[in-house]
Amino acid sequence: MEVCDCNNNPCVKNQKMAEPQYVYMLLPDGAEWEDMTIILDVEKAIELSKKHPKLRVERFIKSDSKYIPSYSYYKEGVLILPPS
């Protein structure tokens, strides 16, 4: 991270907005823990949701030092958001 002195006020140059961090989980129907697959890459998660159209790929969002359910998932390559 580059720091510049803009008008004698410190600022951060080229700072990117922090994007949420997700992990994904392929959930077969009636799965036991050993049947679930954890996926770290969004493209791989979407690919698996297309490859297994009857299954969901759940999204978990990073919160502090843990991941919590986002209640959204990929199904057949499409992101399904929770009702608002």
- The string of pLDDT tens digits covering residues 21-68 is 999 999 888 888 898 999 999 999 999 999 999 999 999 999 999 999
26 in Cβ contact with 36 (< 8 Å) = yes
The number of domains in the chain is 1
Condensed to tens digits (0 to 9), the pLDDT of residues 9-21 reads 444 444 455 667 9
Domain that holds residue 43: 16-80
The per-residue pLDDT for 19 is: 67
In a domain, 42, yes or no: yes
Domain-located, residue 22? yes
Residue 14: per-residue pLDDT: 46
pLDDT band per the 50, 70, 90 thresholds, residue 3: very low
**Residues in Cβ contact with 72 at an 8 Å cutoff, skipping those fewer than 6 apart:** 58, 59, 79, 80, 81, 82
Q: Is 26 inside any structural domain?
A: yes
pLDDT of 33 reads: 86
- Residue 74 falls within a domain, yes or no? yes
